């Protein structure tokens, strides 16, 4: 198969998948690093493969009306100008689907049942996340390096996997009773100033590693084990048991 000239792909700004064309599937890497600015996916499209729009740095608008209810792996990775996305009708979001994208606000409705690791990793412009989906697990590295994400509502979350908020912009963390927390979950959060550990789970030493600016720590008296190095990076923190 003849390869498209790189310059031609870069100059591809818009493509329409009209229902009359009969296109049902978009294969892997189909538009990777192209110059697409807008993508409208109609109902006739039933399957979209991974990396479809990966690296489309000029992509600004996506209309997801297709039958495919899963966003594949790396689908919008590095789409740095994609600032918003409508997740209604989506049931699954694949690994690194929006990594390093330009998303600024994310609203995850109830229809989403499964989110895989690294989904929003490196979205430096992400400021607001509403987690209303039925998935009660925040996957590994999901919001790592989201430097402008300062707040997150953890109520209803049962598990936070490893590195989920590594080097994010969180300024406070409140964990409900029973919430399980993975290794290095909040490590290197330079802006983190307050921790409320209402969970009865043990606090391992790597969870808050290198969080040097924590000032207040509130810990449930139901916690049975706190590793010696748990808050070693926060020498000025005042710890209160509640």
Residue 178 and residue 91 share a domain? no
Task: Please give the residue that has the higher pLDDT: either 3 or 174.
Answer: 174
- Per residue in 151-168, pLDDT tens? 999 999 999 999 999 999
Sheet holding 194-197, edge to edge: 172-175, 194-197, 216-219, 238-241
What whole-number distance in Å separates Cα of residue 96 and Cα of residue 80?
14
pLDDT tens digits, 198-233: 988 999 999 999 999 999 999 999 998 999 899 999
Provide the whole-model pTM. Answer: 0.90
Select from 96, 114, 135 the last residue of a domain.
Answer: 135
For residue 4, pLDDT over 90 is answered with: no
> Residue 204 and residue 222: Cα distance in Å, rounded?
15
Q: Is 128 helix (H, G, I), strand (E, B) or coil?
A: strand
SS3 at position 66: coil
Q: What is the pLDDT of residue 177?
A: 85
Domain of residue 8, residue span: 1-135
Residue 54: give its domain's CATH number: 3.80.10
Note whether residue 80 is domain-resident.
yes
Do 211 and 129 reside in the same domain of the chain?
Answer: no
Instruction: Give me the chain's average pLDDT, please.
Output: 91
Residue 110 covered by a domain: yes
CB 157 within 8 A of CB 178: no
Which of 96, 115, 135 is a domain's end point? 135
The verdict on 97 and 206 lying in the same domain is: no
Same domain assignment for residues 121 and 1: yes
Residues 204 and 131 in one domain: no
Please indicate, yes or no, whether residues 128 and 207 belong to a single structural domain of this protein.
Answer: no
Are residues 221 and 180 part of one domain? yes
pLDDT of residue 5: 42
Has residue 146 been placed in a domain? no
Task: Tell me how many domains the chain contains.
Answer: 2
- Give yes or no: residues 2 and 86 share one domain: yes
Half-sphere exposure of 225 (CA within 13 A, CB side): 5
**pLDDT, tens only, 107-148:** 999 999 999 999 999 999 999 999 999 999 999 999 999 999
In the structure encoding, which two tokens stand for residue 94, read together? 């694949």
Q: Is residue 87 part of a domain?
A: yes
Inside any domain, residue 157: no
> Strand 25-26 and strand 216-219: pairing?
unpaired
Report if residue 66 sits inside a domain: yes
Is residue 155 assigned to a domain?
no
In a domain, 152, yes or no: no
Assess whether 106 and 21 both reside in one domain.
yes
pLDDT at 224 (0 to 100) = 85
State the pLDDT at residue 91.
Answer: 96
Residues 199 and 174: beta-carbon distance below 8 Å:
no
């Amino acid at each position: 198969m003849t390869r498209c000239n790189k310059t031609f792909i870069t100059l591809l700004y818009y493509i329409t998948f009209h229902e009359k064309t009969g296109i049902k599937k978009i294969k892997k890497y189909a538009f990777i690093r192209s110059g697409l600015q807008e993508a409208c996916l109609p109902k006739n499209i039933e399957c979209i493969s991974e990396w479809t729009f990966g690296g489309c740095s000029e992509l600004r608008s996506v209309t997801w009306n297709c039958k495919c209810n899963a966003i594949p792996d790396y689908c919008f990775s590095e789409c740095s100008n994609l600032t918003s996305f409508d997740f209604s009708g989506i049931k699954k979001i694949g690994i690194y689907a929006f990594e390093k994208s330009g998303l600024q606000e994310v609203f995850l409705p109830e229809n989403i049942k499964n989110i895989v690791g690294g989904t929003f990793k490196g979205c430096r412009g992400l400021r607001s996340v509403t987690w209303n989906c039925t998935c009660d697990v925040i996957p590994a590295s999901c919001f790592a390096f989201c430097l402008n994400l300062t707040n997150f509502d953890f109520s209803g979350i049962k598990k936070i996997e490893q590195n989920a908020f590594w080097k994010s912009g969180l300024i406070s963390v409140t964990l409900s009773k029973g919430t399980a927390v993975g290794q290095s979950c909040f490590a290197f959060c330079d802006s983190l100033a307050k921790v409320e550990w209402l969970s009865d789970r043990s606090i391992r030493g790597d969870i808050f590693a290198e969080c040097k600016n924590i000032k207040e720590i509130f810990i449930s008296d139901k916690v049975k084990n706190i590793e010696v190095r748990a808050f070693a990076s926060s020498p000025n923190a005042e710890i209160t048991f509640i």
